[in-house]
Amino acid sequence: MAVRGFKRGLTPDAKGRLEDLAASPTDNWWKDLLALWGPSGTGKVERPLRLAVRDNYLNFYLRGQSVARVGFNGQSRPYVDVHVKYAFEKSTEQAYARLIDGEVAHAKSGQTVRYAGASTLWEWMARAARWETPEKAEVERVVADSGGVIDLEMGLPAHGEQTTALRMDLIALEPVASGARIVFWEAKRITDARLRASGSKDPEVMTQVAAYRNYLADEIHRQAVIEAYAQTCSLLGDFAEWAGVGGKPLALDPLVRKAAKIPRKLDLDTTPRLVIFGTEEQLASPGWKDHQAKLARLSVPILAIKTDAYRLDPPEAPGGARA
């Protein structure tokens, strides 16, 4: 089957529209979103949203919940899509609402509400917080303490025998001698059954790991991912400039800023890693040690994190645990 390319970035027209909104003398939803965006490594409550660059659209997340999807129509006019359960009180159906200029319109019912500036976004976030899952809460704490995270909820295209898109929780940069390396992290709570298997069987999570390895073993795929994340870093640098206050850009991790300026220095680790969340007691239990050893034999790098430590440090070795 044909492979859909892996892309990250915006068309020049789409980016230009957002730049115009950011520079506008009047308030607008794009300026409000930028004011609420907290780059990875920041945990400020006044900037609770995380930003992910996609293929000519953007997602703003609140602890794993997409509360604003910025897209563009055929004329590159920007808009925001939001699930109706966030945009309208007591709405639960599977539908979206669209914000253009100053009005939010329900796609199915036609109901509309006025966009009242940042207060509307805070209302969306308050409703989204009700849907938070324990795992996504843990992931958010990692992002708040790890400045090199450049993507969330990343999906690789379906390819070969893989008929559905593959997803990975975190994409981050880590320093290497040549510059920076892109690394994939899949987050799991220690109680997740997909980490375990009896007898000679492999844990279910290995299916996901193997699929990523197979995809990235192709040099064309590998280069496409590197180029896509170079574009991501470049856009993050632009957005940080636009979101700055008093002429001072929003702070970004030095690795991200360097990757934005010198994308040829980016490399890629083709083996995804596991970050496991558990209590100190759970991580020390003999049962978990046995499952961890099996994953180590399968060459899966593991970072085991206690609930009071959330940095994404490189694993010491495949299967190595660090608290």
What tens digit of pLDDT does each residue of 255-300 get?
998 888 876 779 999 999 999 999 888 998 999 999 999 898 888 8
Phi-psi region for residue 37, left (φ > 0), alpha (ψ -120 to 50) or beta?
Answer: beta
What tens digit of pLDDT does each residue of 177-209 get?
888 999 999 999 999 999 988 878 889 999 888
Q: Which of 131, 149, 182 delimits the end of a domain?
A: 131
Whole-model pTM: value is 0.89
Q: Which of 108, 131, 154 delimits the end of a domain?
A: 131
Together in a domain, 211 and 117: no
Enclosing domain of residue 139: 134-305
Burial class (CB in 10 A: 0-12, 13-18, 19+), 243: buried
- The DSSP bridge pattern shows strands 58-62 and 65-72 to be antiparallel
Reading the block at residue 281, the tokens are 């007691």
Together in a domain, 183 and 221: yes
| CB of 144 closer than 8 Å to CB of 114 | no
- What's the CA gap between 235 and 239, in Å, rounded? 6
Number of folded domains in the chain? 2
Together in a domain, 166 and 237: yes
Q: Residue 315 domain-assigned?
A: no
Together in a domain, 184 and 237: yes
- What's the CA gap between 267 and 298, in Å, rounded? 23
Together in a domain, 289 and 147: yes
3-state secondary structure of 281: helix
Q: Which of 131, 164, 182 delimits the end of a domain?
A: 131
